[in-house]
Amino acid sequence: MRVLDELEREIERIAAQEGDVRARRRWWRSGMLVVVVPLGLAAAAVAATTGILVGEPVKNPPGAQLNLNPKAGLGVIVGSGKLLGVRTGDPDGGPAWALRMVKTSRGLGCVQLGRVVDGKLGVLGRDGAFANDGKFHERGAEILQQTDCQQADAAGHVFIAMSYLGLAASGDMTACAPRPSSRDVRPACPPGSLRTIYYGLLGPQASAITYVSPGGIIIRRPVTGPDGAYLVVLPTDPGRRNFYFSPGVTPASGLRSVEYRDGSVCRIVSPQRLGGARHCPLKGFVAPTLPHITRAQLATTIDVDIGTRREHPGPKIKLPKGAPVIPAQRRITIRFRARVAATARSFYTVNTRLHAAGKNCRYRGFGPIAKDATAGSAISYTLYVAYRCRGTLTINVGYTQQRRPGPMPFDIGGLGNAKVGHVTATLR
């Protein structure tokens, strides 16, 4: 809005007159300012207590609304969530980092990461986000960006451990690229703007964590609240060349140790050690009670429909200039009738393997059919294969009951799961 831009310029002019414009480069505007504006306008432009300018809110990625379904996938966010008590400062100052916990219509618990201003979670207009406007942009609980979810246990506790190596200090993972690439249309993140962040929920029995600071000092911090929330924000080593995002259930790297209320300690060793990383226990986890389902209860006929025309799946959105072009695909639809009901915790799975001639045509795919279904209902699942590929496609349809959380919300229970049935199709 033009009137807000004019207000921002007026604030900067007054701040300059009062000597509050610093020589150092800062993304935020500080100082106590008094400006006479029409009623209600000041609240829209400036946060109530911090003096930080507020911009337009964060929106869901293009096409995300098309996939929101209260009975499929993660579901949809229910309510406005709860801002957790954990706060961690940024190496460059400014608003603290914080976590919010939300729940979905399918019973999953999720954690959202961001910067916090006046009790609101959001991102900052820097590092390519929001055209570097220097404002705070609130992110509503319903926004999908950086929402990390897991199955809750029988008592409603959520165990989750996330690692970001190379997240922009803006808090917006979509704004800039940690490492320039010809396949990434985002601009490169500015030097010194990347953060290494470890965060999550350790459950009701956790009491504290320790980690090593960039200076080599061991730092101990109590976890927050009954959820065992923790949040560590460090500057990313400027010499690092590999960046990644790693989801999990308990910490296996990043932290030095996790302490529990019973006096025990889980010491986290380097994942590069012989034998790999060692995960911490899920202390306080209450396993759900699920009925035993046999193969005889699940087995049914599976039908496969092979598409005969070229398609370009996905929402019809305008791709950024320079984005890689997706080659023409062949639609393959799998259909069967569910003999047993499916929920977010007990669900059907699909495992496919293509034996084909041609460059980059051999592959193996697997995943959940993550949607609710009643016993006796028809289920369909669509996948796509490059149209130029020919060969034999084997399909296993399985069924998994997730009694303990896995690295992702819907763990398919192994590639050999074919409890529902097996079918082979030929791509000509």
Domains in the chain: ranges and CATH: 2-45 (no CATH), 64-267 (no CATH), 295-427 (2.60.40.10)
Please compute the mean of the pLDDT values over residues 325-330 and round it to a whole number.
Answer: 85
* Segment 79-109, tens digit of pLDDT: 999 999 999 999 999 999 999 999 999 999 9
pLDDT of the residue at 17: 38
pLDDT of the residue at 255: 94
| Beta bridge pairs of residue 410 | none
- Does the pLDDT at position 19 exceed 70? no
Residue 5: φ, ψ to 5°: -65, -40
Q: For the chain, count helices (H), then strands (E).
A: 3, 21
Which range (35-39, 57-61, 112-116, 245-249) has the least confidence? 35-39
pLDDT of the residue at 325: 73
Query: Mean pLDDT, the chain, as a whole number?
Result: 85
* Segment 159-181, tens digit of pLDDT: 999 999 999 999 998 889 998 88
- Does the pLDDT at position 306 exceed 80? yes
Over pLDDT 70: what percentage of the chain?
Answer: 83
- Does the pLDDT at position 233 exceed 60? yes
Whether the predicted model's global pTM rises above the 0.95 cut: no
- Does the pLDDT at position 226 exceed 90? yes
By the 8 A CB rule, do 259 and 207 touch? yes
- Does the pLDDT at position 190 exceed 90? yes
**From edge to edge, which strands make up the β-sheet containing 244-248?**
229-235, 194-201, 160-168, 244-248
pLDDT of the residue at 1: 40
Q: Report the candidate in 121, 110, 113 with the shortest Cα–Cα distance to residue 75.
A: 110
Q: What is residue 351's three-state secondary structure?
A: strand
For 367, residues 6+ apart whose C-beta sits below 8 A from its C-beta are 349, 350, 410, 412
Which range (56-65, 84-93, 315-324) has the least confidence? 315-324
* Distances from the Cα of 229 to the Cα of 28, 70, 118, 132, 162, angstroms: 28, 27, 20, 31, 12
Reading the block at residue 282, the tokens are 């899920």
pLDDT of the residue at 32: 30
Name, of 17-31, 212-226, 259-273, 277-291, the range with top average pLDDT: 212-226
- Does the pLDDT at position 5 exceed 50? no
Residue 207: φ, ψ to 5°: -120, -35
Cα 69 from Cα 278, distance rounded (Å):
36
pLDDT of the residue at 18: 37
For 13, residues 6+ apart whose C-beta sits below 8 A from its C-beta are none
For residues 23 and 293, which has the higher predicted lDDT (pLDDT)?
293
User: What region does 295 belong to: left with phi over 0, alpha with psi -120 to 50, or beta?
Assistant: alpha
Long-range (24+ apart) CB contacts under 8 A made by 97-101 are: 97/171, 97/197, 97/231, 97/233, 98/231, 99/199, 99/229, 99/231, 100/141, 101/158, 101/201, 101/227, 101/229
For residues 12 and 97, which has the higher predicted lDDT (pLDDT)?
97
